[in-house]
Amino acid sequence: MSADDWQADIRTSYDTIAVGYADQVRDLLVRQPYLRAALALFADNVRAAGGGPVADVGCGPGYVTAHLNELGVEAFGIDLSPGMIEVARRDHPGLRFEVGSMTDLNLPAASVTGLLAWWSLIHIPDDEVPAVFAHFHRALRPGGPLQLGFHVGDESPSKNDHRRQPEQVATWLREAGFEIEAQLLLHPDEKPGAVLFARRRS
């Protein structure tokens, strides 16, 4: 399947469910204290790096983008799905959201202090991940923090839902010029997920 084909599938899928998905995740962070803690640490790391704009790549309906702004971070959202961006703008009218793809990230070099991709990398095939991480590295300022959230597993349940082990993701990050700082494993006994904390090497 070509990149245009799988991206079109994902775009159509999320356009179709955008409103319902937004309702589903609206209070997710209220129910997930470890995820709130991960975002708080990310916000601290952004401030320690000097502050400035932060890209939430694969932002969906914008709830993480909004939470980061509540934490004092100048976050904006990017998503492949125009439907998701429409909902994000509806629910968070004071924030910046734009349609875009992490496989062709339209951000100038060294233009963001931090970058976050929560459970959006799961839609990227393995052979595309190194190029995506190269885009992340280019867009980040030297020393800028990166945070990734993803499903953990050895088998992917569908063609557009890729499960991976943290060690594999960490290897790709190191090869792209990032330093791994920490790893958080979530729900290891059921539906495991991971959050990786990394930083662009200077």
Tell me which residue range forms the domain holding 115. Answer: 3-147+156-161
Burial class (CB in 10 A: 0-12, 13-18, 19+), 120: buried
Q: In the predicted model, is pLDDT for residue 17 greater than 90?
A: no
User: Does 173 fall in a domain?
Assistant: no
Separation CA 69–CA 130 (nearest Å) = 29
User: Does 61 fall in a domain?
Assistant: yes
Q: In the predicted model, is pLDDT for residue 2 greater than 70?
A: no
> pLDDT tens-digit profile of 44-80?
999 999 999 999 999 999 999 999 999 999 999 999 9
Global pTM value: 0.92
User: Does 128 fall in a domain?
Assistant: yes
The residue ranking higher by pLDDT, 104 or 22, is 104
C-beta of residue 78 within 8 angstroms of C-beta of residue 56: yes
Position 4 scores a pLDDT of 66
Q: Tokens standing for 39?
A: 């975002």
Q: What is the 3-state secondary structure (H, E, C) of the chain?
A: CCHHHHHHHHHHHHHHHHHHHHHHHCCHHHHCHHHHHHHHHHHHHHHHCCCCEEEEECCCCCHHHHHHHHCCCEEEEEECCHHHHHHHHHHCCCCCEEECCHHHCCCCCCCECEEEEECCHHHCCHHHHHHHHHHHHHHECCCCEEEEEEEECCCCCECCECCECHHHHHHHHHHHCEEEEEEEEECCCCCCEEEEEEEECC
User: Does 29 fall in a domain?
Assistant: yes
User: Does 181 fall in a domain?
Assistant: no
User: Does 65 fall in a domain?
Assistant: yes
Position 162 scores a pLDDT of 92
Residue 113: band (very low, low, confident or very high) from pLDDT cuts 50, 70, 90: very high
Position 175 scores a pLDDT of 98
**Backbone dihedral region of 22: left (phi > 0), alpha (psi from -120 to 50 degrees) or beta?**
alpha
User: Does 118 fall in a domain?
Assistant: yes
Residue 25: band (very low, low, confident or very high) from pLDDT cuts 50, 70, 90: confident
* CATH number of the domain enclosing 34: 3.40.50.150
Within 10 Å of residue 122's Cβ, how many Cβ atoms? 18
Position 98 scores a pLDDT of 97
Residue 30: band (very low, low, confident or very high) from pLDDT cuts 50, 70, 90: confident
Residue 1: band (very low, low, confident or very high) from pLDDT cuts 50, 70, 90: low
Name the percent of the chain lying above pLDDT 90. Answer: 77
User: Does 95 fall in a domain?
Assistant: yes
Mean confidence (pLDDT) of the chain: 92
- Work out how many domains the chain is built from and give that number: 1
> pLDDT tens-digit profile of 115-165?
999 999 999 999 999 999 999 999 999 999 999 999 999 887 777 789 999
Position 20 scores a pLDDT of 76
Separation CA 105–CA 59 (nearest Å) = 13
